[in-house]
Structure 1
């Protein structure tokens, strides 16, 4: 059974003014930004009593105020993000130090069936961070079914982002092991406005444009209703490898120990299966001076990574409509609908044929037949080709479409706060071949007929494009319907205050389906998609009941208790508790601590996904056929050196849930007015980790994982098995630190300073149950586990002016691979620091303007020899290749 946890917020009749400031000053560095100049009182004005409104705070079912939370919460204002030129939720979450290397949009390059973009709190995995919208779940990505695609969430409609940096399974159920990201939308809007902006890098590619239109009508108090809508459009251009210094050398970077050129090239290499001859008719003549091709040992190798787009082209249109209707003085009805359509277009090297097409002796281009130079040792049988298409790059498109509808009520009756409703969410994902993917059968026919020259220019060069295959390759959908109800109220009065009780339950039904277009995929072996299982399906019902208590033990000490029971129709039930305390011995000092358990159920994809073959991201040497490296390998096996092998991926019906325990302890200190320091320690353990024994692990230890190599009749690797399994676990602990300060208002304005950082003390991983624990902090572990990350800013505001100077810092780490012959001499990825500056002016009537510079000093991405992504020379999860870029945006209110 799994354990569940709950993060709660206390309910208190009154809150001191100093503690209220803790909620506005200490929860986040971003909260400190320039908007606070308007929110904090002028010290010359006499203090007035403050009425504190109680609201639902992320991590609790009982209404309270953020300052009273027993769990650490970070709050980011949407307005502040906009003023920094941020237009996507993915980019916004890079400002959170607890978020380390989620799945980035750039990682869609060369990948299929992806989650688009996702968050990764505590570096525990993108499937252990729960993303909510207004406290309720969004539909997961249709391909992963366990993560939320951040690209489908329009930042324009987000009022604030609340990040609960503590396990919360006792409140929200599965997937909240690392924490919760709650996206809070605007609740009402009156009037009409339009916003737009653009970002222009100094170098080619990567420019962005966005526009938003807001409209709303109705005053809820006066007219009894409010209806509003938002339309958001965003697009960005791709960046090609040739257009950036960090990537233009592609996969040949000697100082990083990278030589990732491909034996599947042009002019084609060939293999004679009768004599075992491996060669190239132009291998000793510099490969006909073909661009991005190098000759080595009589063969021609293509530098594939010099041809790709390192950042994809994206386009998103989103819309939100919301209506709030006053049913009575105590009840409102709410209707909400959100739609998003996101397209990601990627470009990788031309289509590949690794001995899957042949050249017959009857072809005029057969070596020695008059056109192509002869090669010794040929038997006259058809030659197996290692060939690249001449129809241009393979261009793919991933489309993610999301619908979310909610109808509910909220209000108060008989002393109970009541919140309930029905949510329907659907996500649809489609991968398509746009261009550059070729029909293998048609290509083979053209080779047989002597119409295609695999070693040089063909008489009709347009013939390559006539083999093109376009259309949808994969389609998946995930439907989720949830009915939920939560009620809460004070149930008993103690000398220190009221005991708060919350009770609730929910029922969810999920249905998943994934289809492979076998007709198209079977024509394109280079796609890496298995056409043999065209349909995969799964469904489940989830029933949950939960309760929460807030107990004021004394005037300064409060306890919060929570528990949740979940029953899954496809694997069983689980019970998860949480206990937390908050102690405020002084108005300037507050301590908090919590203990909880959590779980993550294997997703529908984890259980039901078909096992299919795709190519490894990195290139390896066959540990048997190329055990001594390319130079020491017999000629007929050189193609088994430094090559992308196939790997088997997919789910398993035998998976069991992951279980976790979580402990936090911290304090909030305000020694003087407007100077706030927070420190929060976390300790998380996960058992039964659902993961893959990755291709990197398999090739790094081929003896241990010998059973993971599946070979063909010739002894060559057919694929390595990387399907999902329950592995060992993770133990991690660290500290979140924030320091924020605002000066009093002066004749020259108000100045502020903030820093938000996370220091990871320990991150140990166990590859298999009962196995050894290995320390991973400061090393690459797909992804790297950074010891320290912070975001800091200095800001100033005066009348209609606001300015911010920001620093983003990422601590360096030990790279993925060693350099040279010393297996322990790993490359060290250097620290990575970015500086950004922005300014906003509101002095025009109805118009607000913001301008800024990102990457002010044009810092290059930190050099890395990671080979798990298609981008070589740096890691796109930590470094941005865009370079210095300028942005401008404006908002006009009619």
Structure 2
């Protein structure tokens, strides 16, 4: 009964619509609790209002979610720009990140039991959600306002705190199978959770959790929406059999027949490769996680030691390697073309090959991300103070392996030149295998070691109540070691062929304090401050002030104002330089101005091409500074209805990022120093380093509603709505420059869209041992990348997940359901930022309707 009262109390004061499900059956009687957003432990009756959503993972898995990434992406307040599917078009190591408010993953702090997990080593700016084992997570607490004063200077956008199970008794075996209606994307998982000992009676508990999951890839030919809108504009001039450039014109011996469907006629004399057909829409993913925790109570103290191990293997397939300008043939070379497709003889002028390594097959990359974390924690009562302290060592090691399909640049250039490989037809057996490249190309490791201690208590009495305070300190060491392997220098089309190894480290120390002050009856203030010292970027002081005002039991007002500071991440500073192709096609502003060849340029090389860009870290970056405001109201006019609205504003100065190539090509005079050219004047690559771009400003409102219908003979019914409306999102592309807005649509082809509205709407029912839920996850539409196109608006995206659950004898739980009940396809988009075509893989799911069966049995 006491636990139910706690859950109801949290709902009343507006902790979040999910709260009644989050804490309703926590084991044990707690006298004092700690919720994300404060370092102060308080008695149940003194729980304060915070803009925190508390999500019970058990409820989320009933939607068919099997990974932390899927759960986080369903949150209305989250708009991630890096998801698992992003690994298809970028060297991300298969990472998936959280991004509250859509501000960027670098501003969302991810915690496990209140402490950090090492950043993913390849992408390097945030914790990979795949490192969190969903099977061992009891609940997720999402703090939606800035928390730099409490958790760290980089918690500008908010905090997502994953809370593991405090104790486990007995052994539970579970598993799930998901079958898609369309081909590809099937998945299966098994998990084991077991523990012994009772903390309250025996004074100790030890438990462990193991889980394994594998998900099939989805290829482009397996989803019609990903290829039905392909046209000649999608053809690449890097093709097999090869095109050759002769006197500024393009020819192919196979033209105009070519080799459809992959190679098709560009015109009567040349061919193009429909490279999109080789692409994966989603990668093949294999995940293994292990978590073990031992806890011991000694009087008023509790000690625990926890180990986490997680392995995420993401395997992607993209088109065979494009071999643009790979070799020059002259008379006397074995495969020098003596005639053109129409029979005209060549006159001995040199020809340049634009080929593709189709005989080697698609480029297959295997990314293995291993996360390990060892955490010691001690907490309890000491001299009347609630204390918590501990030490954590966490590391992520990510390896990029060229599994298949890659070509050795040195060997293939020579093979074309000496005639070992025929660029226009069949070669001798083993010829292509002789130039094949495979092995580890990039091995990166990121480590975080920290120690912290904090204590809190009620300090003294005021007329309106007790003043509570908290004090703490933290020390942290972070290190990045990024090693580019020797073979990567010859891996054409890998994205890191010209990269160099790099490393860096930093020390951070912090002191922080917090107080909660009852000013008047119903009015309380929270004051917090944090002082951080970075050995490489100096000092930072971040204050926060928040209030709660409850003039009546049915209404509560809350608000906060805070400052934030984000030092450039080690990845921002030390990221190795890497050269890769642009996703978009551009015209060389010198050799093909306006799409017309000039100044020695030719159409095949200089017009409507994917050019190379060089990316990398920057040791001359300035820190980012931020300001955040929130104001909210929570009402509960009846015991059955709770609603809240929280308005938020965030400003970030000196944002760190990469200038999109589209902005550079759009103003070549302004960015003339970004263009690096070869000796013959052709464009070699464009420089797009990490840099300070300017300011970012965003605002919006979070809405939440929970209604519990009166009990009926047919069972208990309820409805929950969580939504986020973004009313402002503007940013500068350079310091002092104009502000541009991607809110509700693309800004040209430079800034990715920020959704105006996103919500989760859940209908629930329960009776005795039965329960069911119907959940809608909705994202609003937006203006497409090319608004001049006929389909210039991307339609809204909505999918419904339906499931039913039966609990037998408190031991066996069975859930059956349908994901994407109405089989809604991703809305069409003409975006060209990803290798996937016809839709946006970041904002929409390519799986379609899928059926799942989930079961667990407690022995």
TM-score normalised per structure 1: 0.91
1:605-625: CA deviations, max 9, x gaps?
Answer: 111222221111222222333
Query: Which segments of 5 or more consecutive residues in structure 2 lack a partner in the other structure?
Result: none
- Contact kept in structure 1, 2:93 and 2:400, CA below 8 Å: no
**Given the superposition, is the C-alpha separation of residues 468 and 375 from structure 1 closer, same or farther in structure 2, using an over 3 Å criterion?**
farther
Q: Which residue of 2 aligns with 1:61?
A: 39
SS at match of 1:447: helix
Following the alignment from structure 1 to structure 2, what is the Cα–Cα distance between the partners of residues 153 and 118? 11
Which of residues 360, 367, 383 is equivalent to 1:398? 367
- Contact kept in structure 1, 2:84 and 2:94, CA below 8 Å: no
Does residue 890 of structure 1 match 2:855? yes
SS at match of 1:751: strand
**Given the superposition, is the C-alpha separation of residues 16 and 529 from structure 1 closer, same or farther in structure 2, using an over 3 Å criterion?**
closer
- Contact kept in structure 2, 1:652 and 1:725, CA below 8 Å: yes
CA drift at 1:52:
7.5
Q: Which residue of 2 aligns with 1:146?
A: 125
Following the alignment from structure 1 to structure 2, what is the Cα–Cα distance between the partners of residues 530 and 603? 24
Following the alignment from structure 1 to structure 2, what is the Cα–Cα distance between the partners of residues 573 and 845? 54
Which deviates more, 89-98 or 361-370? 361-370
Instruction: Output the aligned Cα RMSD.
Output: 2.5
SS at match of 2:407: coil
Does residue 266 of structure 1 match 2:215? no
Q: Which residue of 1 aligns with 2:607?
A: 641
Which of residues 325, 328, 332 is equivalent to 2:302? 332
Which deviates more, 339-348 or 709-718? 709-718
Which of residues 676, 679, 687 is equivalent to 1:710? 676
Q: Which residue of 2 aligns with 1:418?
A: 387
Does residue 833 of structure 1 match 2:798? yes
Q: Which residue of 2 aligns with 1:101?
A: 80
Which deviates more, 697-706 or 538-547? 697-706
Following the alignment from structure 1 to structure 2, what is the Cα–Cα distance between the partners of residues 583 and 500? 17
**Given the superposition, is the C-alpha separation of residues 772 and 445 from structure 1 closer, same or farther in structure 2, using an over 3 Å criterion?**
closer
**Given the superposition, is the C-alpha separation of residues 451 and 24 from structure 1 closer, same or farther in structure 2, using an over 3 Å criterion?**
farther
**Given the superposition, is the C-alpha separation of residues 652 and 138 from structure 1 closer, same or farther in structure 2, using an over 3 Å criterion?**
same
Which of residues 491, 503, 515 is equivalent to 1:524? 491
Following the alignment from structure 2 to structure 1, what is the Cα–Cα distance between the partners of residues 231 and 403? 31
SS at match of 2:258: helix
Does residue 314 of structure 1 match 2:261? no
CA drift at 1:638:
2.7
Does residue 471 of structure 1 match 2:439? yes
Higher relative contact order (CA 8 A, sep 6+): 1
Which deviates more, 635-644 or 731-740? 635-644
CA drift at 1:413:
1.0
Which structure 2 residues correspond to residues 408-447 of structure 1 after superposition, within 5 A?
Answer: 408-447=377-416
SS at match of 2:325: strand
CA drift at 1:292:
4.1
Q: Which residue of 2 aligns with 1:207?
A: 186
CA drift at 1:78:
1.1
Does residue 692 of structure 1 match 2:658? yes
- Contact kept in structure 1, 2:112 and 2:164, CA below 8 Å: yes
SS at match of 1:506: strand
Following the alignment from structure 1 to structure 2, what is the Cα–Cα distance between the partners of residues 551 and 666? 19
Which deviates more, 667-676 or 355-364? 355-364
CA drift at 1:405:
0.4
Following the alignment from structure 1 to structure 2, what is the Cα–Cα distance between the partners of residues 679 and 852? 32
Which of residues 703, 713, 722 is equivalent to 1:756? 722
CA drift at 1:377:
4.7
Following the alignment from structure 2 to structure 1, what is the Cα–Cα distance between the partners of residues 6 and 173? 38
Q: Which residue of 1 aligns with 2:574?
A: 608
SS at match of 1:127: helix
- Contact kept in structure 2, 1:841 and 1:850, CA below 8 Å: yes
Following the alignment from structure 2 to structure 1, what is the Cα–Cα distance between the partners of residues 102 and 330? 52
Query: Which segments of 5 or more consecutive residues in structure 1 lack a partner in the other structure?
Result: 1-13, 41-49
SS at match of 1:689: strand
Does residue 387 of structure 1 match 2:356? yes
Which structure 2 residues correspond to residues 91-490 of structure 1 after superposition, within 5 A?
Answer: 91-114=70-93, 116-249=95-228, 252-253=230-231, 259-272=233-246, 275-283=247-255, 285-289=256-260, 291-296=262-267, 298-327=269-298, 329-368=299-338, 376-381=345-350, 383-460=352-429, 462-490=430-458
- Contact kept in structure 1, 2:225 and 2:825, CA below 8 Å: yes
Following the alignment from structure 2 to structure 1, what is the Cα–Cα distance between the partners of residues 509 and 94? 26
Q: Which residue of 2 aligns with 1:7?
A: none
Following the alignment from structure 1 to structure 2, what is the Cα–Cα distance between the partners of residues 278 and 437? 25
CA drift at 1:364:
4.3
Following the alignment from structure 1 to structure 2, what is the Cα–Cα distance between the partners of residues 108 and 479? 22
Which of residues 655, 658, 664 is equivalent to 2:630? 664
- Contact kept in structure 2, 1:113 and 1:144, CA below 8 Å: yes
1:166-202: CA deviations, max 9, x gaps?
Answer: 0000011132111000000001101011100011101
Following the alignment from structure 2 to structure 1, what is the Cα–Cα distance between the partners of residues 267 and 581? 24
Following the alignment from structure 2 to structure 1, what is the Cα–Cα distance between the partners of residues 659 and 596? 26
CA drift at 1:517:
0.8
Q: Which residue of 1 aligns with 2:754?
A: 785
Q: Which residue of 2 aligns with 1:726?
A: 692
Following the alignment from structure 1 to structure 2, what is the Cα–Cα distance between the partners of residues 471 and 24? 57
CA drift at 1:63:
1.1
TM-score normalised per structure 2: 0.95
**Given the superposition, is the C-alpha separation of residues 17 and 291 from structure 1 closer, same or farther in structure 2, using an over 3 Å criterion?**
closer
- Contact kept in structure 2, 1:346 and 1:396, CA below 8 Å: yes
CA drift at 1:639:
2.7
Which deviates more, 583-592 or 765-774? 765-774
Following the alignment from structure 2 to structure 1, what is the Cα–Cα distance between the partners of residues 756 and 808? 43
Which deviates more, 627-636 or 542-551? 627-636
Following the alignment from structure 1 to structure 2, what is the Cα–Cα distance between the partners of residues 375 and 599? 67
Following the alignment from structure 1 to structure 2, what is the Cα–Cα distance between the partners of residues 378 and 334? 81
Following the alignment from structure 1 to structure 2, what is the Cα–Cα distance between the partners of residues 796 and 758? 25
